[in-house]
Amino acid sequence: MIHLFLNADEYLTAQRLAELKAGLGDPEMAGLNTAELTGSQTDIAHILAEASLMPFLAEKRLIIVRGHLDYLDKRMAASKTTDSAAHNEAALWSTRLHEAPDSCDLVFVDHAVDKRRALWKGFTQAAARGQPERKIAGIEALVKSGVAKLEAVATPDAKTLPQWIQQRARKEEISINGEAVAVMADFVGPNLRQLDNELEKLSLYAYKRTITAQDVRAMVSDASEEMIWNLTDGLCQRNARAAMQALCDLRRNDQSPIGMITSIAKQYRLLIQVKTAMQQPGAGEEAIARQLGEKPYPVKKAMGLAGRYSFTELEQIMDRLVRVDMAMKTGANQATEMDVLVAELTKGRM
C-alpha cells in the first residue's frame, strides 16, 4: 500500500506511523523491517529497491520517505521546461510508483506540495529524441486511480479544531463540555500534541466528571494568558470595574506585579503588530497569526481590540508601561503602581 501524507501535521503523522508500525507485529521485528529515507537524497529507483526487500520474520516492511515530494515540487516549479531533470524524475516517480510490492507499506511524508502545480495536476512532456509526447499523471490522478492513498493528516483549521478535540476526547473516553472545548481551542491553538497532553491532564484533574471551562482555565498552561487579556479588555473598554476584577484574579493566581507589566506590555505590542497587519488587503485571523508566528487566540483578541486605539495612543501606553516597570524595579510600591496604572489607562490618561 502506498500512503501519501501531504500537508502533514507532526502529531497526526506520528500517530498514523505508530499504527502502521504496530501492524508489522512484534516490536523488535518491526524495527528491523522499518526504513526511513531522506527525500532530497533519494529517487524512485532507490525507494523501490528498499520497498522490494523481503520482510524479515514479518509479513510487511514499512518504508518512510520524508520530504521527497516537497523536494520534487520545488525543483519542478523552478524549471523552465517539462524536459528538466526534475520533471524527468517526477515522470519516473509517477509511472513506476505502482511497482511497489504488496509486502511493503510505502509512506511519503510531505508538508508543502502545491496543488496548483504540475506534480499534483500532471503535465505533458513534448516529443524528443524519437520519443512521442507523453502525458504524465499527477498525484491527483494517481490517488483517483487507486495507485496511492491520500491520508487525512493535515492540521485542523480554526473551524474544525473544536471537532478534533471532541473526537479525541471521545476516543479516550474523556467527558468534556462544549464550552471547555472552545476554551481549549482558543488557549492552545492547533498544537495537537499539546492538546492531547492537556486532555489527559484535565481528565485526571476532573476524575470521572465532565471537564468544564473552569477546569481548563485552572489547569491549562496558557490559561493565565486569558486573565491578562481580561485585564487588557477592561483597559481597552475603559471599564475600571472589569479591569480591577481581572487584576485581582491575576493576584490570586500569584502573578507578580513585574510579571503582569511584562505580560501587559506583550499584549499591547501585539496590538500594535496586529493593527499594522490588519491594514494589509485580505488580512484575516489565520493569515495574521501565521505572519506573526502567534497562536490564533491572542490574534483574535487583538483584532477585536485594535480598533479602539490609534497608533499614537498605543505608543503612549508603551511609554507609560516602561516608566512603571522602571519604578517597580527602583523601589516603588509595586501593588500601588499597578493600581495607579489601571486607573490611568481606564480613564484614558497617560
In this prediction, residue 258 carries a pLDDT of: 86
Select from 304, 274, 271 the least CA-distant residue to 288.
274
Cβ atoms 83, 128 nearer than 8 A: yes
Return the pLDDT at 218. 80
Distance CA 200, CA 215 (A): 13
Would you call 38 helix, strand, or coil by DSSP? strand
Helical (H) or strand (E) element with 104 = strand 104-109
Name the one residue in this structure whose C-alpha cell is 494517481. 142
pLDDT recorded at residue 173? 94
**DSSP annotation string for 299-339:** HHHHHHHGGG--HHHHHHHHHHHHHHHHHHHTT--HHHHHH
pLDDT of residue 340: 92
**pTM (global) more than 0.75:** no
* Cβ atoms 22, 169 nearer than 8 A: no
**Average pLDDT of adjacent 10-residue blocks, the chain of 350 residues:** 94 94 88 93 95 91 96 94 93 95 96 94 86 92 96 89 95 95 85 91 92 88 69 83 85 77 87 92 82 82 88 92 92 91 80
User: Do the bridges between strand 134-136 and strand 149-150 make them parallel or antiparallel, or are there none, so unpaired?
Assistant: unpaired
Provide the pLDDT for residue 254.
Answer: 66
Q: What was the pLDDT predicted at 350?
A: 56
Q: List domains and CATH numbers for the chain.
A: 2-150 (3.40.50), 161-219 (1.10.8.60), 223-347 (1.20.272.10)
Q: Give the per-residue pLDDT at 213.
A: 92
Give the Cβ contact number of residue 304 at 10 Å: 13
Q: How far is CA 267 from the centre of its chain?
A: 21
Burial status of residue 41 (CB atoms within 10 A of its CB: 0-12, 13-18, 19 or more): exposed
Query: 3-state class of 171 per DSSP?
Result: helix
